[in-house]
Structure 1
Amino acid sequence: MTSSTTSSPRPITVRKSVRVRGVVQGVGFRPFVYRLASEEQLAGFIGNDTDGVVIEVEGEGSRLEAFLSRLVAEKPALARVDAVVAEDLPCKHETSFRIVASEVHGRVSTGIPADAATCADCLRELLDPADRRYRYPFLNCTNCGPRFTITRRIPYDRPQTSMAVFPMCAECQAEYDDPLNRRFHAQPNACWRCGPSVWLETAEGESIESDDPVAETIERLLGGEIVAIKGIGGFHLAVDATNEDAVKRLRDRKHRYGKPLAVMVRDLEAVRAMCELTAEEEALLKTPARPIVLVETKAGNGIAPSVAPGIPWLGVYLPYAPLQHLLFADARVKALVMTSANLSEEPIAIENEEARTRLGKIADALLMHNREILQRCDDSVAATVDGAPQLIRRARGYVPLRIPLPMEAPPLLAVGGHLKNVFALALGKFAYQSQHLGDLENVTGLEFFEHSLSHLSHTFEIEPQTVVHDLHPAYLSTNWGKRYAKERGLRLVAVQHHHAHIAACMAEHGLIGPVIGLSLDGTGYGTDGNIWGGEVLICTLEGFERFSHLEYVGMPGGDAAVREPWRMAFAHLLAAGFSEREAKELTGATDQEVRVVARMMERGINAPLTSSLGRLFDAAAAIILGRREVDYDAQAAIELEGIAIGEPDILPQKEYVLNLTDTGVSHVLRTAELWRTLVQDLRAGAPPALISARFHAGVAEGLIRAAVAARKQCGVGLVALSGGCLHNRRLARLLRFGLEKEGFRVLQHREVSPGDGGLSYGQAAVAAAILEKESTR
């Protein structure tokens, strides 16, 4: 008898090319893949190019499959993977895995990472006296630090950033070259020996001698001075947030008299001591983006009253740069106002000489550094609505992360609106929004727009073939877009303001329609030439039907009615059937004011018609709170929401009613009964907080009834909520709860702002849908 032995078959060796697209440069993706391949005993290489990262990997089939699975599941915290495409290749029988040099070819399609807050590892080094980077204000690694604000173009490599002028010392270079070091190819890598430095100057530009400029800055802040501090995306103006005199002096010099100021505090424990925090708000505060988050304040929290006058919220955020952590390393520093370094409505200052010129009359001293900021980028602002984050201002930490579109877009530019301007570039399945640019009110704002457009279009190599704009003929963005298109022979697409709002919400959720859209804001040019803002639309991305709206009321004095809410209150009261005498009594108008406004209304002169919900809120605030004038956009409405913060959302008391009337042309939400009930409560001595809560509930209920009526007509059970009024969290909650109770599925914004900051994304989605339909005819 013969015997034989059996052996296991030899593992089959395979090789694949793996293309990874998304935010995969500048986030530690290559060293991550290097370690992953080593752990799975695979050979091959990884490199950056203009399309993302390209990997060739070879080894035992089961290990290669494990590698592909772990590639997405265990990716670095700052990475975002949009697509992984793997294809078979012939084996090369390599024995090691390596990282190869970046390649530049073809059009850029990878994403630039956003600026990210200092990670825990770097923070430990920053505060460790034994570490070589102890108290170094610019330490970073692949998990944190500046990205977008120092980048000229893709690929994201050091020569393409403002760090190119700082050659690394031998120790930093060794870290940079070591695939197993967390600073491997960390482009801003530097230390005390080779990197940027800080110094302190007087307002007159004279050097302030100090062995430790940061420590000297702390002494000046605690002494009540205003210090301009150069940061990641621009300068901040800083004062001690517990010093009322210092805060008032900052407001006077900055010409920012009522608008709340953002406050930076040491850590979450400090925020908890000052504010009522939910778990969702804590999570938002800790994200790498480190946005300013609006949270409810606690009484007696030590913050100066002038920081956020008249409202029960505070905009708080945590340090996100090493320099900021150093300010709070001194236990005496409790909280700092850190507001954008500019005069009201100007772009934030970023250059040293610019800061000396523009901030010298505001700041007592300037803490400077010599790392160039290539892109202005304000702090982002966010809040939680129904437990989920909602962006109010999308900027640092979020830009230029791309946002998916529901369909392929040809290269196009959407120029956005007039206020809170943000433009968008789109190509393929993605849109790239600019950072928050502010109001396009002057040449400086337009120059910021043009510079940002040049940078972003050059970075992503998008040459627009179509320009998309708002219908408003007086918007600077519209007229600039028309001129830009005419000079280059490009196509123009006009998109109605409120359609763009709803389209933005739809596109975020990957929808082309139809939906019922509640588009609620302060101002938008309507197709009938009037000012819209309280709209119930039946929308697809391609177009819309206006189903219902708030009744038209004149805006006496035009824009003056926005600055002086009593004017809107007077107009609404007259429209509701109140006499001039009653309207005068309720608004506190003078005899002269009554004569002027009544004449405007009677003759229809300088009193454009509006259906705006924002103006309705202004009118209610003027009567309930006695708010005659405002210092900043939406102040009256914000204060009206704030006063009701202690009232429950669901009110069993009497209802304020918006009556839905079918005019044969559209369904109109009439406000007369609401006003009669509100005034009755006011005269009966009902608390203003209760009246505000009832007003919110009545408005929400009227809009819900209109949505139900729209569903009966079109059969659509999906509602999208958008427009600046959706920043009102009470209104947003009431609408969502009531609509879901009626059986609707409700869509809200998460990726872009529901306000005008999201407008350009909606414009891009509408244009993409229109152009796609045309291409298939």
Structure 2
Amino acid sequence: MTKARRALRLRVAGIVQGVGFRPFIYRLAVSRGLSGYVVNLGGSEVEIYVEGQPSQLASFIEGLYRERPPPARIEELEIEEAEPQGLDGFTIRRSERRKSRRSMIPPDFGICRDCLREIHDPSTRFHGYYWNSCAWCGPRFSMMYTVPYDRENTAMRQYPLCRECRRDYEDPGNLRRFHAQGISCPRCGPRTHVYTMDGRRLDVEDPVEWAAERIEEGYILAIKGVGGFHLAALASRDDVVEELRRRKRRPSKPFALMARDCGVVQAIAEPPPGACEVLESAERPILLLPKRPGSPVSELVAPGLDTIGVMLPYTGFQALLLERVRDGFLIMTSGNETGYPMCTTLECVFTHLRGIADYVVAHDREIVHRVDDSVLRYTDGELVFLRRARGYAPMWLYAPMELPDMVAVGAELQTAGAVAFEDKVVPTQYIGDMDEPGQVEELERELRWFIEVYSLKPRVVAVDMHPGYHNRGLAARLADEYGAELVEVQHHHAHAAAAMLEDRVPPGEKRAAITIDGTGYGTDATVWGGEVLVARYSSFTRAASLYPFRLPGGDAAAKWPVKALIGLMQASGLDEEETLSILRRRGLLSRDRLPHGEAEARVSYRLAASGRAPITTSMGRTLDALAALLGIAWRRDYEGEPAMRLEAAARGGRDHGYTPRLLSLDGRLVVDTPGLLHWVIENLDRLPTRDIAATVQRGLGRALGEAAARAARGLDGPVYIAGGAAVNTPIVQGIREALRGHGLEAQVPRRLPPGDGGIAAGQLLVAAARLEE
């Protein structure tokens, strides 16, 4: 006797749109002999209705997890009994706008091996087709106008499917193209053209071959990718790299590289175990790796650093281009004028890259969302984000509590925003520095897009408490428009909260956090940046910090590290003449190291001594000062440059074990950086520079770790390390060394950037906790 038919209704959230999930469900249901339907809903989720025998339904549920497409992620699954409808067969229904629950918006995926194989196969219609993609790979978020993820809601809607692509799209047996929204071929897909910088289109038969020839000749090309334009050039010729630096007005900031494959990566760098798996993943990030001695990469690609940033091709065009250049690697850096966002349109290229690029190679598919390349590095052997964008954004994180609809505008530099709802925190992709033209508008566009697609009604808008940040006006406008509460959040509290969010630390529980960076506006109106906090989401106490010193020139001291050094020397008890004598002996009074030489040094010292310069506990400025004294860096041309050079200089250095003392000041512990400075001065002529660099950074870490261990007494969980300097390996090693002595562990954020790119997520948790209280 046949058992009675049963029916189930399933709602699935996660990355389940834009990854071939509906076709997968179709095949899974048909293979189990089930009837029903699958449909995309308007919150980026999927609804499934299936009916059949209980054993068939059980097998279907099991296969849902075990056989799902590679890029799919099932975050939530709701199953309920339903009344059998007697349906005949299984269908994929037209997407609906109704929302049952919200789901993840799919990020952009690098080209898969199957699509790449088709590009190389002369027997397929995709042979040589640069923009080949399938249900498992290709652009998603960067080309979405709205949800649900259907072709008509993406930039692919301008490309009607040809007869062959329509056949594949409608064929349930076509594993990778059945109902794949982004598919196309040379007949129906995006086309690629070559332009001169005055906008004239050139008649070029093979844009890849043409581009490879021009690059080999030393030209610089603007090439349109998934989330914006790159500037492509030879990375092995000093003259080409030098010319690119001159044109971009970018004296020393590293250029990203793209390599043909991991074999090439191993020839130019020293990837640790597991690095090739990261590079070859669907996310295809830039990964910072130690540069191989004797590498053919020009020293001008990353001057003063011991690492290079490398990624692998993630489009067919890039893969074919890298196959045709002799080196097997190229500079592939963001296509932007210094101080402006990366270009996404030809109009931008012809305006902002004139005088930088020699030619343009561009496809005609619209880039809806600008999405930069993601950047990761290894810190003490662990992968951490420097920039979270293509391949990862806009995937969400789970909060440890229910959140109201919220918006956060982030910090000032390296900014991403974020929205929140239910128990979800959704960071935007990396946006950039808010003091650059157009970046606040870009942040506003992206935040409004997320508000719209997730149907949010924000009750709270969170903002950094610094009164001078450029995104404060945006926060005030959003709060006024939605009738939301504007909540100011202290910078380092937000860093700590973001780190705690990753572990889903419960509300109300306290954790110790070391928050180290360049600048954060403190509750006492001074410049913080080397802090030990005891924090819960709703509040914090400042348990320890680096020793405070005056920063002559304020913001100018961030550009000229010698000014920070003078402030630290004054705080260390050195008088004016002693200070100038040391600076003179170290060659630090020349005008390339201090714009007005000795006169400026004297004025700087007197500003610090008279109390007319801002007070700081900044780790960034402390590292700047040490880098200047050691002759490693005298000017900052990009965020974190002196500290990065100092870290590079410590490679292979011996740690001599010096650890600054902990002193008591104003009710908190302070790290005796004046004592550290005196130790450096005493050893300048006795120890190799790399030994001093290694010792001071690990010593600072040990002192902060000791302070955090005292602050963490009686608290659960690890000690969190956050802020831009939390990626510094010697400092993190020093912190961990000290904490191990107390039986404690340290943890650096892994799913968010430890720096300001993750701060918006922390702002949301702090604001929500305050609202709850």
Bigger drift between 402-411 and 502-511 goes to 402-411
Aligned to 2:266: 272
Q: Which runs of 5+ in 2 are unaligned?
A: 590-596
For residues 670 and 630 of structure 2, what CA distance do their matches in structure 1 show? 25
Query: Quick check: 1:108–1:460 contact (8 Å CA) kept in 2?
Result: no
Runs of 4+ in 1 over 4 A off after TM superposition: 714-717
Aligned to 2:746: 746
Over the residues paired in the alignment, what is the CA RMSD in angstroms?
A: 1.7
For residues 368 and 331 of structure 1, what CA distance do their matches in structure 2 show? 19
Amino acid at match of 1:367: V
Deviation at 1:509, TM superposition (A): 0.8
Query: Quick check: 1:21–1:82 contact (8 Å CA) kept in 2?
Result: yes
Alignment of 1:259-338 (within 5 A): 259-330=253-324, 332-338=326-332
Query: Quick check: 1:237–1:363 contact (8 Å CA) kept in 2?
Result: yes
Normalising by the residue count of structure 1, what TM-score does the alignment of the two structures yield? Answer: 0.95
For residues 436 and 644 of structure 2, what CA distance do their matches in structure 1 show? 26
Q: Deviations over 1:609-638 (max 9, x none)?
A: 001111111111011125221211111100
2:25 pairs with 1:33? yes
Query: Quick check: 1:281–1:384 contact (8 Å CA) kept in 2?
Result: no
Work out which of the residue numbers 435, 458, 471 in structure 2 matches 1:464. Answer: 458
For residues 263 and 727 of structure 1, what CA distance do their matches in structure 2 show? 21
DSSP 3-state at the match of 1:279: coil
Deviation at 1:91, TM superposition (A): 2.5
Deviation at 1:715, TM superposition (A): 4.3
DSSP 3-state at the match of 1:183: coil
Aligned to 1:602: 609
Q: Deviations over 1:325-358 (max 9, x none)?
A: 1102325252110111111131110011221122
Q: Deviations over 1:79-100 (max 9, x none)?
A: 1111111111222344522222
For residues 213 and 546 of structure 2, what CA distance do their matches in structure 1 show? 55
Bigger drift between 476-485 and 425-434 goes to 476-485
Deviation at 1:138, TM superposition (A): 1.0
2:600 pairs with 1:593? yes
Amino acid at match of 1:517: A
For residues 567 and 314 of structure 2, what CA distance do their matches in structure 1 show? 47
Gap change, CA 1:592 and 1:542, over 3 Å in 2:
same
Deviation at 1:35, TM superposition (A): 1.9
2:545 pairs with 1:543? no
Aligned to 1:568: 564
2:630 pairs with 1:624? yes
Query: Quick check: 1:403–1:432 contact (8 Å CA) kept in 2?
Result: yes
Aligned to 2:728: 728
For residues 722 and 162 of structure 1, what CA distance do their matches in structure 2 show? 38
Aligned to 1:4: none
For residues 601 and 8 of structure 2, what CA distance do their matches in structure 1 show? 78
Aligned to 1:3: none
Q: Deviations over 1:714-734 (max 9, x none)?
A: 545531111000121232233
For residues 400 and 477 of structure 2, what CA distance do their matches in structure 1 show? 29
Bigger drift between 174-183 and 197-206 goes to 174-183
Aligned to 1:130: 123
Query: Quick check: 2:705–2:736 contact (8 Å CA) kept in 1?
Result: no
Amino acid at match of 2:102: S
2:764 pairs with 1:770? no
Aligned to 2:592: none
Alignment of 1:613-652 (within 5 A): 613-647=619-653, 651=655
Q: Deviations over 1:702-756 (max 9, x none)?
A: 01110122134x5455311110001212322332343234211333211110000
2:138 pairs with 1:142? no
Alignment of 1:388-407 (within 5 A): 388-407=382-401
Amino acid at match of 1:596: V
Alignment of 1:491-530 (within 5 A): 491-512=485-506, 513-530=509-526
For residues 407 and 112 of structure 1, what CA distance do their matches in structure 2 show? 22
Q: Deviations over 1:561-598 (max 9, x none)?
A: 10000111111122112233332243323431222112
Amino acid at match of 1:480: L
Deviation at 1:159, TM superposition (A): 0.6
For residues 219 and 412 of structure 2, what CA distance do their matches in structure 1 show? 35
Gap change, CA 1:58 and 1:106, over 3 Å in 2:
closer
Q: Percent identity?
A: 38
For residues 613 and 596 of structure 1, what CA distance do their matches in structure 2 show? 24
Bigger drift between 481-490 and 351-360 goes to 481-490
Query: Quick check: 1:407–1:768 contact (8 Å CA) kept in 2?
Result: no
Bigger drift between 90-99 and 504-513 goes to 90-99
Bigger drift between 703-712 and 300-309 goes to 703-712
Amino acid at match of 2:683: D
Gap change, CA 1:429 and 1:15, over 3 Å in 2:
same
Work out which of the residue numbers 370, 383, 387 in structure 1 matches 2:364. Answer: 370
DSSP 3-state at the match of 2:544: strand
Aligned to 2:593: none
Gap change, CA 1:278 and 1:42, over 3 Å in 2:
same
Aligned to 1:761: 761
For residues 483 and 9 of structure 2, what CA distance do their matches in structure 1 show? 41
Query: Quick check: 2:461–2:479 contact (8 Å CA) kept in 1?
Result: yes
DSSP 3-state at the match of 2:471: helix
Work out which of the residue numbers 168, 171, 181 in structure 2 matches 1:178. Answer: 171
Aligned to 2:221: 227
DSSP 3-state at the match of 2:19: coil
For residues 35 and 738 of structure 2, what CA distance do their matches in structure 1 show? 58
For residues 324 and 738 of structure 2, what CA distance do their matches in structure 1 show? 49
Amino acid at match of 1:617: L
Amino acid at match of 2:703: G
Size of the alignment, in residue pairs?
A: 758
DSSP 3-state at the match of 1:476: coil
2:98 pairs with 1:92? no
Amino acid at match of 1:340: S
Amino acid at match of 1:72: Y
Query: Quick check: 1:717–1:743 contact (8 Å CA) kept in 2?
Result: no
Aligned to 1:6: none
Deviation at 1:47, TM superposition (A): 1.2
Bigger drift between 486-495 and 618-627 goes to 486-495
For residues 375 and 350 of structure 1, what CA distance do their matches in structure 2 show? 9
